[in-house]
């Protein structure tokens, strides 16, 4: 088994170093190879996703990814910006299924801006389609308008589109995930989020998800417009179990869901293709404002490594060991500044990583 290590920018290098430490402490047999990505790769290779990095990713069973981006690259032409690295990896590896769990740790229930009773026990899974929709739809670009409100004016446009097989495969992923969760005690519900009241693409989405749902009589299916879903997520988040939605709505709703739990610094994510090859990354970004200070929370990346062991490397026991260790350090009262509250012990990135290693037992 081979893991590609792509730390990237900002706090990416610091948090990935802690996850590597944890992986090494498990005493499993796999090889790891690092490569630059994002702004770091632009500096060293002139491109955010150099061929050598892409090749390494393709040749690996799993990719452990830190984060990319820094304000200083905002003025570069789009093709050279750090974000293109993650979009390129998704596209070239066909990583269409993005898992973004939002789990509220009981120890952190007071770190949320929502009332504890709303989020205590929260455990929802957002499944975001990741290689289609308006993110990748062609054509796109700038041109002179020939119609619309201002013919002759400069305009920009993107294309929202989904094919039937694209919707079918992500719907199957969602129903299967709901089944697995149901076996572990969840409700067994998929909520498909769309904008069928306005968009042709999402009426089609709703129709196809409904059709796929007929093969899963054991799983409840409901449909929700995206604006209502945004509201319900803060009003009664525990009504959700698995949420499945398109690329753009999923981008927005998964950030919202992550904040329900109090800290985006705690949440892992996985992006899988049909061969179970996966990219694993924290749900948060590169946080250039705190980079290099040793204060970033490494737990989301450490938990991403656990997801990697479970999904791509088929080592569920090792994954569970990491998850238990993370739970244990929280119970010990250790907190990085993002989740600190009076009465707990404030620690830095490295101390937190060390504590997890120690708690592995
Ligand atoms: C995410 C990020 C990316 C996205 C950016 C960095 C391109 O926001 O993974 O959610 O929009 O998908
Ligand atoms: Mg996002």
- Residue 85 token pair: 């690295």
Given 91, 255, 340, 346, the catalytic residue: 255
Spatial distance between the Cα atoms of 44 and 253, rounded to a whole number of angstroms? 34
| pLDDT of 261 above 90 | no
Of ligand 1's atoms, which has the minimum distance to the CA of residue 247? Answer: 12
Percent of the chain exceeding pLDDT 70 equals 100
Where do the domains of the chain lie, and which CATH numbers do they carry? 1-96+273-361 (3.40.718.10), 113-261 (3.40.718.10)
Please report which ligand is nearest the Cα atom of 130: 1
Cis peptide upstream of residue 209 (ω within 30 degrees of 0) = no
Is 135 designated active site? yes
Give the phi and the psi of residue 121 in degrees, each rounded to 5.
85, 5
Given 135, 162, 216, 280, the catalytic residue: 135
3-state secondary structure 319-350: HHHHHHHHHHHHHCCEECHHHCCCCCEECCHH
The verdict on the CB of residue 264 being under 6 Å from ligand 1 is no
Of ligand 1's atoms, which has the minimum distance to the CA of residue 90? Answer: 12
Q: How high is the pLDDT of residue 263?
A: 77
Q: How high is the pLDDT of residue 232?
A: 97
DSSP per-residue string spanning 36-55? --THHHHHHHSSSS-HHHHH
The answer to whether 242 touches 190, Cβ cutoff 8 Å, is: yes
Please report the sign of the dihedral spanned by the C-alpha atoms of residue 249, residue 16, residue 23, residue 332. negative
| pLDDT of 236 above 90 | yes
CA of 153 relative to ligand 2 center, distance in Å: 31
Give the phi and the psi of residue 278 in degrees, each rounded to 5.
-145, 155
Please report the sign of the dihedral spanned by the C-alpha atoms of residue 46, residue 52, residue 55, residue 57. negative
- Residue 29 token pair: 């047999």
Is 70 designated active site? no
Is 255 designated active site? yes
Cis peptide upstream of residue 139 (ω within 30 degrees of 0) = yes
pLDDT tens digits, residue range 212-230?
Answer: 999 999 999 999 999 999 9
Spatial distance between the Cα atoms of 301 and 304, rounded to a whole number of angstroms? 5
Q: How high is the pLDDT of residue 206?
A: 98
Q: First and final CA of the chain: distance in angstroms?
A: 24
Spatial distance between the Cα atoms of 103 and 121, rounded to a whole number of angstroms? 8
Residue with CA at minimum distance from ligand 1 atom 10: 251
Q: What mean pLDDT, rounded, does the chain reach?
A: 96
Spatial distance between the Cα atoms of 2 and 322, rounded to a whole number of angstroms? 19
Mean pLDDT calculated for residue range 57-75: 96
pLDDT tier at 361, thresholds 50, 70, 90: confident
pLDDT tens digits, residue range 243-252?
Answer: 999 999 999 9
pLDDT tier at 139, thresholds 50, 70, 90: very high
pLDDT tens digits, residue range 78-134?
Answer: 999 999 999 999 999 999 999 999 999 999 998 888 999 999 999 999 999 999 999
pTM of the complete model: 0.95
Of ligand 1's atoms, which has the minimum distance to the CA of residue 69? Answer: 6
| pLDDT of 171 above 90 | yes
């Amino acid at each position: 088994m081979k893991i590609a290590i792509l730390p990237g920018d900002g706090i990416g290098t610091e948090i990935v170093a802690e996850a590597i430490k944890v992986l090494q402490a498990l005493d499993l047999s796999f090889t790891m190879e690092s490569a630059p990505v994002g702004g770091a790769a632009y500096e060293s290779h002139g491109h955010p996703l150099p061929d050598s990095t892409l090749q390494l990713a393709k040749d690996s069973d799993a990719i452990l990814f830190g984060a990319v981006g820094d304000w200083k690259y905002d003025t570069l032409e789009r093709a050279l910006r750090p974000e293109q690295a993650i979009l390129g990896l998704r596209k070239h590896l066909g990583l269409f299924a993005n898992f973004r769990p939002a789990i509220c740790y009981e120890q952190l229930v007071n770190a949320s801006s929502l009332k504890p009773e709303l989020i205590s026990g929260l455990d929802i899974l957002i499944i975001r389609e990741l290689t289609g929709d308006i993110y990748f739809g062609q054509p796109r670009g700038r041109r002179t308008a020939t119609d619309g409100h201002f013919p002759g004016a400069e305009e920009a446009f993107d294309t929202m589109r989904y094919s039937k097989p694209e919707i079918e495969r992500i719907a199957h992923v969602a129903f299967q995930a709901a089944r697995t969760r149901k076996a572990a005690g969840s409700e067994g519900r998929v909520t498909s989020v769309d904008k069928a009241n306005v968009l042709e693409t999402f009426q089609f989405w709703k129709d196809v998800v409904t059709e796929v749902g007929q093969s899963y009589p054991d799983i409840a299916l409901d449909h929700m417009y995206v604006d209502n879903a945004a509201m319900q997520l803060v009003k009664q988040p525990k009504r959700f179990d698995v949420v499945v939605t398109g690329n753009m709505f999923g981008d927005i709703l998964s950030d919202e869901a992550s904040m329900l739990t109090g800290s985006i610094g705690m949440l892992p994510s996985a992006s899988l293709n049909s061969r179970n090859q996966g990219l694993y990354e924290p749900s948060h970004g590169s946080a250039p404002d705190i980079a290099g200070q040793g204060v970033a929370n490494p737990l989301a990346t450490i938990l991403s490594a656990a997801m990697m062991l479970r999904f791509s490397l088929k080592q569920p026991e090792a994954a569970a060991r990491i998850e238990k260790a993370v739970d244990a350090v929280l119970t010990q009262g250790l907190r990085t500044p993002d989740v600190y509250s009076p009465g707990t012990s404030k620690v830095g990135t490295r101390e937190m990583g060390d504590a997890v290693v120690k708690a592995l037992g």
